[in-house]
Amino acid sequence: MAASIENADVMLAEDWWALALRGALAIIVGLIALFFPGVTLAAFVLLFAAYLLVDGIFALIAGFRAASRHERSWPLFLEGVADIAAGVIAFLWPAITLVVLVFVVGFWAIFSGVMMIAAAFRPAGRHEWLLALGGLLSVIFGVLVLIAPITGAVVLALWFGAYAVAFGVVLLILAFRWRRHGRRIEPVARPA
């Protein structure tokens, strides 16, 4: 058991850089959201609308290909039409789309946070409390967004920015702790 925990510690320590990149990216995105909240909200809506349109087109293409092979194609056609219709609605009525996105972001943050908290209680590794803290920040952010969706639509970018910066800082601290911890448990090279 102790050997498997040590092996997990070594693997986490070797991948510290991936966690550090994730933290740095979260901080950069958070700062953009804090300094340019209007742009951030517009980007959320436009990105979502563009995704729906592209996804709808690909679903229709898949539907036509399935029909040409005499396979069941109606679910793909239905999905494609629904995606394209939702994408057009998102472009035409961005305020409604933004309110829907507020709810999606809120539920995503809660789910993501709960999963991170659950991951923090694994038996392997050290500094799990930082992973739990990152998860707790996600849950708090999600609850705040869902409690006040109208206000959340207005201040979503600011809340998201503050969350992303705090989350990124926690990940960076955790990454550098894993790095420092990894230097102390370097695996011993086996003789050839």
The reported pLDDT for the residue numbered 5 is: 47
Residue 43 falls inside a structural domain? no
User: Helix 149-184 and helix 37-68: axis angle, to 10°?
Assistant: 90
| pLDDT band for position 99 (cuts 50, 70, 90) | confident
Q: Which stretches of the chain are assigned E, i.e. beta strand?
A: none
Please state the separation of Cα 38 from the chain's center in Å.
Answer: 21
State mean pLDDT over 127-142.
86
User: Cα–Cα distance between 63 and 39 in angstroms, integer?
Assistant: 35
The reported pLDDT for the residue numbered 57 is: 94
What token pair was written down for 185?
Answer: 């448990």
Residue 67 falls inside a structural domain? no
Q: Which residue in 32, 29, 42 sits closest to 153, CA to CA?
A: 42
Question: How many domains is the chain built from?
Answer: 1
Q: What is the pTM of this model?
A: 0.52
Residue 31 falls inside a structural domain? yes
Q: Calculate the average pLDDT of the chain.
A: 81
Residue 74 falls inside a structural domain? no
Segments in 69-127 forming alpha helices (H):
74-92, 94-120
User: Cα–Cα distance between 76 and 63 in angstroms, integer?
Assistant: 5
The reported pLDDT for the residue numbered 143 is: 92
Residue 69 falls inside a structural domain? no
User: Cα–Cα distance between 134 and 164 in angstroms, integer?
Assistant: 10
User: Helix 94-120 and helix 74-92: axis angle, to 10°?
Assistant: 110
Query: Domain range spanning residue 140?
Result: 2-38+94-184
Residue 190 falls inside a structural domain? no
| pLDDT band for position 117 (cuts 50, 70, 90) | confident
- Which residue carries 């694994």 as its tokens? 122
The reported pLDDT for the residue numbered 125 is: 57
